[in-house]
Amino acid sequence: MKVLMFGWEFPPHISGGLGTACYGLTKGLAKQNVDVLFVMPRASGDEDQSAVRIVNASAVEMGFGISGFEEFWKRIDFVEIGSNLIPYLSPEEYEKAVTGAVKTGERSMHISYRNKYTFSGKYGSNLLEEVAHYALAGASVAAQNTFDVIHAHDWLTYPAGIAAKKTSGKPLVIHVHATEFDRSGENINRLVYDIERMGMMAADSVITVSHLTRNIVISKYGIAPEKVITVHNAVEFDSYSAVNERRGVSEKVVTFLGRVTFQKGPEYFIEAAAKVLKSFRNVRFVMAGSGDMLHRSIRRVAKLGIATHFHFTGFLQGVDVQRMFAHSDVYVMPSVSEPFGISPLEAMRSEVPTIISKQSGVAEVLKYAIKVDFWDVNALADAIYGLLAYPALSKMAIRCGLDEVNALKWDNAAQKVKNVYDSVIPKDK
């Protein structure tokens, strides 16, 4: 079986869990004898191609248009003006980027239907323009290759998946790793929502990373339940090796690792830290990540008077994530809305006791992580204190948690995804 897969990022160049999930899934699919042609906006050449063949969309010549597609992007161009589609910039950085882009004319949509387009592959002020060109590149790749099914990851690639389907006539599977309701609550960006729904409606099957996300897809996007299949994420073991880190501090370490955004609940971690420090001083709290709430979080830590016990590392990836877990005694993921959440699996794999919010998809598959409501700061503080103050509880969480994540392998998830492929491919294949 051959799959044309669209993804916005792939290790080692990642901004979050999406690229990690794509990597683990493609390695699992390779073991199921599935050949994956993975199209990304901008490949650097250092991606692991042991399980996939990477196509650099920046090197693809776009030689034709797609019937009806030009009109769609003309409509998008109209509503795009002023839309905040830059998920990893602070409000101040966003304003600066947009102001500069408007002055230089960068913000206007110039969709070329011929020649090549050099993608940044990032989340910049011209993100929507890149999404549009990526869709055209997807159509060109589809016209030049043979495959059985198309697989598109997250909203940035849904238009490319649709374009490839229109070009080839092959079935489309879209993979929902997060929705606009996860990122923005009820105050959604309507443009992103429309692209998401367009992808879901065009797909022959929709894969969601949790039952939580499946319910959102059905209730908020109006997708037929029989079309939506849950396949939980897993954790990558092949590339993992234990890290022996020399502790530079004698205190216990409690870690938050993720984007510092509303969705991830950093403020609840900070408030819980302040409560723990009132009764347990031999501890340091670490917030590893970046995002639009970072400056606000720093100010809140200072106002609470806990700055001497609180550290901000900035964004971490690769071996630095493993090193951070090696330093940690407790890992906390207090997400307000988390479609799945791979980092708790990585923490438990690294033998770190883990606390997660009940409002996360990963809570559906973990029994030995402590679960609290994201908003219940007292319960979160109690859970942190318990793991720090009672070694027996911590040891049990480590032992049982490691056994649990050992069973959550990408090979199993890949088999379920392959079953989805089988269900949409015409039986005469």
Does the pTM surpass 0.95? The reply is no
Q: What digits encode the pLDDT tens for the residues 212-255?
A: 999 999 999 999 999 999 999 998 766 556 667 777 788 999 99
Q: Does domain 252-406 have CATH number 3.40.50.2000?
A: yes
- Residue 129 has a pLDDT of 81
Res 389 pLDDT > 60: yes
Q: Mean pLDDT throughout 118-133? A: 77
CATH architecture type of domain 2-234+410-424 = 3-Layer(aba) Sandwich (3.40)
Helix intervals (H) in 222-366: 266-277, 294-304, 319-327, 343-349
- Residue 125 has a pLDDT of 65
Res 320 pLDDT > 50: yes
Residue 274 Cα distances to 34, 37, 80, 388, angstroms: 50, 49, 42, 15
Q: What digits encode the pLDDT tens for the residues 175-209?
A: 999 999 988 888 888 889 999 999 999 999 999 99
Identical topology for domains 2-234+410-424 and 252-406: yes
> Could you give the CA distance from residue 81 to residue 66 in angstroms, rounded to a whole number?
24
- Residue 318 has a pLDDT of 78
> Could you give the CA distance from residue 358 to residue 352 in angstroms, rounded to a whole number?
19
- Residue 117 has a pLDDT of 80
Res 86 pLDDT > 50: no
- Residue 130 has a pLDDT of 86
Per-chain mean pLDDT for the chain: 86
Question: Taking a C-beta distance cutoff of 8 angstroms, is the pair 11, 40 a contact?
Answer: no
Q: Mean pLDDT throughout 320-346? A: 92
- Residue 80 has a pLDDT of 37
- Residue 381 has a pLDDT of 98
- Residue 110 has a pLDDT of 46
Q: What digits encode the pLDDT tens for the residues 96-121?
A: 444 444 344 444 444 444 567 888 76
- Residue 132 has a pLDDT of 85
Q: Which of the two residues, 72 and 402, has the higher pLDDT score?
A: 402
The domain segmentation of the chain, as residue ranges, is 2-234+410-424, 252-406
Q: Does the bond joining 12 to the residue before it have cis omega, within 30 degrees of 0?
A: yes
Q: Mean pLDDT throughout 328-354? A: 93
